[in-house]
């Protein structure tokens, strides 16, 4: 074997000085890589680090072992500073087989530390990964620090006393490697040990073997004499507030946001959906929460799921449905019905790469047109977008607030990245949120078609309410009586009303603020999951003295009332998106502003470097103007 341990003291020193790291775990989709990543995430949070994660897995459930396309990965950035992205480029890679090594090399920082399972580099497995030579033996890894460890063999040894077959024992490999990485960053093992104990409570041998593998990996770090390359790097704690924190994925936060909103509105929810990647996790998280006011119904198809949700809203509970782009397309006709009948409804779209089936496990922001414009006729409705996993909580509450206040369906955009990724979340106090009002009839209510002057909402009378018996439907209704009407003037009046209702939302939502940066120069105007990358890029550019600001939109339709005034204060506007320019088009249309675009449609999140590069092209050095950090 050639000299793998390159001697670059400056690189190693740089590594040792870092207060945040980007670690990527990679292996076969059957290796338990996602679990490994999740457990590391928990340990990192409990050690007081800020963090952001990126699960990156193939659409196939168990793709053929050892192939490049079957590689599953989990990336996390964690550290003692504010962390908003899972990191552009890992500085540590743990690769459990040759394919997992080679597919991830291109993204690593030069001098990155690579820990590989040496015993997985057999002739047969190199061939599976389409490799002619062994990258551990040629110059492929020249630029990196490589630490080959016989992980498979050491895992088998650790599991030996518990009598598992070789195949089962080998399954403990992810915990062995996790043990080693936990040691490396001096993170606690207790939560993982507890997880193993609970998960395998009924299987003593598997439980003990996994615990032993975890400890063995940890002990290996301590005892193996590899200090020159593999040493311990404790990370300082992040400056956190004096509150309780937990890690949370977007799908979890969305579920909790909906549950909390139902409670704040004193309304029960009926969540109706049909399985689709990457939206199904929301259904999973909400199922079983009926004592928190949510019942879930798995319908026979996408159309039935939105229809059942509309039925629930008609009957006085709040209907919620969820899907991804292709499923939302199927729900579209029914969305028109909800607009026409003026029923509250929440539609969550976890966007994924398209068109058609596209790349179901990869992320994209390409359903903005669909959300804002994608219906037959003049059928406006409010559209909101969550910007991070934790932000799904508040955005869900906002969506419910708008739907109930105005009696309208609301589309809530999130994406595959937000749904699966996790971050550290300061747990809010539900009592701090304003109660959500609805339009249910009271003793003083008049006719159900008498509208609130400011919200244009009609009464939310439901079957069972005496004195409000009425018929509604998709046929145009008379603006006064609610009866069927084909009258020309009435249709004009109803069309105007539907438009005015959505526009009136702008009178209730907060004015747009600047997330950080200057009040002149270049504004980076973004929405959705690009938040982390834009935040970090702008932060670094500000430090480098550029006049740049970050403005992140939650309200896509209608836009905040002050947005035009705010944006026209800047010389230049840059809109980065994971699509070909959908928000850019919307802003040009609504605000008549000139916009530069940064677009990426690769199925991967935007990187900080990509945003920085675009900013550097457009921004000027900062003069003496006021900053708003």
Partner 1 sequence: MPELSFKNFATDQEVRWCPGCGDYSILKAVQRSLAEAGAKPENTVFVSGIGCASRLPYYIESYGFHTIHGRAPAIATGVKLANPKLDVWVITGDGDGLSIGGNHLLHALRRNIDVNILLINNEIYGLTKGQYSPTSRVGTTSPSSPGGSVDSPIDPGRFAIGAGATFFGRAVDIDQKGLPGLLNEARGHEGTSFIEILQNCIVYNKDVFDDVANKKTAADHQIHVQHGEPLLFGKTNDKGLRLNPSTLALEAVMVGHDGVTTRDILVHDETNATFAHLLLSMEAPLPTAMGVIHRRRLESFDRAFWNSKTQKRRQKVVNLLHQGNLLDRRNGSE
Question: Does 35 engage in binding with partner 1 (CB under 8 A)?
Answer: no
- Chain centroid to CA 69: 23
The 476-505 contact track toward partner 1, x by CB under 8 A, reads -------xx---------------------
Question: Does 472 engage in binding with partner 1 (CB under 8 A)?
Answer: yes
- Are 396 and 258 in contact, with CB atoms under 8 Å apart? yes
Of the pair 478, 571, the CB lying nearest partner 1 is at 478
d(CA 41, CA 47): 10
Q: Which two tokens stand for residue 517?
A: 């940066």
Taking CB under 8 A as the criterion, which residues in 519-578 touch partner 1? Answer: none
Taking CB under 8 A as the criterion, which residues in 284-313 touch partner 1? Answer: 289-293, 295, 297, 299-301, 303-305, 307-313
**Among the listed residues 2, 355, 467, 621, the single contact to partner 1 using CB under 8 A:** 467
**Among the listed residues 48, 326, 560, 603, the single contact to partner 1 using CB under 8 A:** 48
Question: Does 186 engage in binding with partner 1 (CB under 8 A)?
Answer: no
Question: Does 330 engage in binding with partner 1 (CB under 8 A)?
Answer: no
**Among the listed residues 237, 454, 487, 613, the single contact to partner 1 using CB under 8 A:** 237
Taking CB under 8 A as the criterion, which residues in 81-100 touch partner 1? Answer: none
- Are 44 and 77 in contact, with CB atoms under 8 Å apart? no
Q: Tell the smallest beta-carbon distance from residue 424 to partner 1 (Å).
A: 8
Taking CB under 8 A as the criterion, which residues in 146-175 touch partner 1? Answer: none
- Are 628 and 566 in contact, with CB atoms under 8 Å apart? no
Question: Does 315 engage in binding with partner 1 (CB under 8 A)?
Answer: yes
**Options 202-210, 333-341, 376-384, 487-495: segment touching partner 1 (CB under 8 A):** 333-341
Q: Tell the smallest beta-carbon distance from residue 328 to partner 1 (Å).
A: 16
Q: Which two tokens stand for residue 497?
A: 């009303």
Alpha helices in 18-73 (DSSP H): 33-46
**Among the listed residues 64, 161, 163, 473, the single contact to partner 1 using CB under 8 A:** 473
Burial class (CB in 10 A: 0-12, 13-18, 19+), 629: exposed
Question: Does 424 engage in binding with partner 1 (CB under 8 A)?
Answer: yes
Distances (CA, A) of 389 to 53, 197, 208, 249, 553: 10, 28, 34, 5, 15
String of DSSP letters for 117-173: EGGG--HHHHHHTT-SS-TTTSSTTTTSEEEEE-HHHHHHHHHGGGT--HHHHHTTH
**Options 19-27, 439-447, 466-474, 505-513: segment touching partner 1 (CB under 8 A):** 466-474
DSSP state of 359: B
The 257-286 contact track toward partner 1, x by CB under 8 A, reads --xx--x----x-x-x--------------
Q: Tell the smallest beta-carbon distance from residue 429 to partner 1 (Å).
A: 9
Q: Which of 314, 262, 271, 256 is nearest to 293 (CA)?
A: 262
Question: Does 377 engage in binding with partner 1 (CB under 8 A)?
Answer: no
d(CA 477, CA 473): 8
Of the pair 195, 229, the CB lying nearest partner 1 is at 195
Alpha helices in 47-114 (DSSP H): 98-102
Question: Does 358 engage in binding with partner 1 (CB under 8 A)?
Answer: no
Q: Tell the smallest beta-carbon distance from residue 505 to partner 1 (Å).
A: 25
d(CA 179, CA 182): 5
**Among the listed residues 81, 118, 465, 544, the single contact to partner 1 using CB under 8 A:** 465
């Amino acid at each position: 074997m050639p000299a793998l341990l390159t001697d670059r003291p400056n690189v190693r020193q740089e590594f040792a000085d870092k207060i945040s790291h980007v670690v990527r775990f990679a292996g076969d989709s059957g290796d338990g890589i996602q679990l490994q990543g999740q457990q590391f995430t928990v340990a990192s949070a409990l050690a007081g680090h800020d963090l952001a994660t990126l699960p990156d897995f193939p659409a196939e459930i168990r793709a053929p072992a050892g192939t490049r396309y079957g590689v599953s990965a989990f990336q996390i950035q964690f550290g003692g500073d504010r962390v908003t992205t899972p990191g552009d480029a890992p500085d540590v890679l743990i690769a459990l087989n040759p394919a997992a090594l080679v597919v991830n090399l291109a993204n690593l920082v030069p001098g990155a530390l690579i820990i590989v399972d040496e015993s997985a580099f057999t002739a047969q497995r190199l061939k599976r990964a389409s490799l002619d030579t062994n990258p551990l033996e040629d110059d492929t890894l020249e630029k990196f620090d490589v630490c080959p460890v016989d992980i498979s063999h050491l895992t088998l040894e650790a599991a030996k006393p518990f009598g598992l077959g070789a195949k089962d024992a080998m399954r403990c490999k992810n915990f062995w490697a996790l043990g080693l990485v936990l040691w490396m960053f001096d993170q606690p093992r207790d939560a993982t040990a507890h997880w193993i104990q609970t998960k395998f409570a009924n299987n003593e041998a598997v439980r003990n073997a996994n615990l032993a593998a975890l400890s063995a990996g940890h002990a290996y770090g301590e005892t193996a004499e590899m200090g020159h390359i593999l040493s311990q790097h404790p990370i300082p704690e992040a400056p956190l507030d004096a509150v309780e924190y937990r890690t949370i994925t977007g799908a979890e936060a969305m579920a909790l946001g909906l549950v909390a909103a139902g409670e704040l509105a004193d309304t029960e929810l009926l969540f109706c959906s049909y399985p689709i990647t990457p939206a199904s996790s929301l259904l999973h998280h909400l199922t079983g929460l009926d004592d928190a006011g949510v019942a879930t119904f798995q319908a026979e198809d996408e159309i039935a799921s939105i229809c059942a949700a509309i039925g629930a809203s008609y009957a006085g509970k709040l209907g919620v449905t969820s899907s991804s782009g292709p499923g939302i397309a199927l729900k579209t006709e029914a969305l028109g019905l909800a607009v026409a009948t003026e029923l509250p409804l929440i539609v969550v779209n976890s966007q994924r790469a398209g068109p058609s089936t596209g790349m179901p496990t990869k992320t994209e922001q390409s359903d903005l047109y669909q959300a804002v414009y994608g219906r037959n006729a003049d059928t406006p409705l409010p559209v909101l977008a969550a910007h991070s996993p934790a932000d799904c909580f508040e955005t869900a509450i906002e969506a419910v607030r708008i739907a109930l206040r105005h009696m309208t369906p609301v589309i809530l955009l999130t994406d595959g990245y937000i749904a699966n990724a996790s971050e550290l979340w300061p747990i809010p106090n539900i009592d701090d949120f304003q109660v959500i009002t609805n339009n249910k009839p009271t003793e003083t209510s008049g006719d159900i078609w008498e509208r609130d002057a400011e919200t244009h909402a009609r009464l939310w009378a439901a079957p069972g309410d005496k004195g409000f018996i009425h018929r509604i439907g998709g046929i145009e209704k008379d603006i006064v009586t609610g009866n069927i009407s084909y009258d020309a003037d009435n249709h004009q009046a109803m069309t105007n009303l539907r438009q005015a209702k959505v526009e009136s939302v702008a009178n209730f939502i907060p004015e747009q603020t600047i997330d950080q940066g200057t009040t002149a120069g270049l504004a980076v105007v973004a929405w959705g999951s690009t938040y982390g990358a834009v935040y970090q890029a702008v932060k670094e550019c500000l430090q480098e003295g550029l006049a740049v600001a970050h403005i992140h939109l939650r309200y896509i339709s209608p836009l905040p009332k002050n947005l035009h005034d705010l944006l026209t204060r800047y010389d230049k506007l840059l809109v980065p998106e994971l699509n070909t320019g959908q928000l850019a088009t919307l802003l040009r249309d609504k605000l008549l502003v000139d916009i530069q675009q940064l677009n990426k449609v690769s199925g991967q999140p935007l990187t900080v470097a990509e945003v920085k590069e675009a900013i550097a092209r457009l921004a000027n050095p900062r003069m003496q103007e006021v900053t708003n950090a």
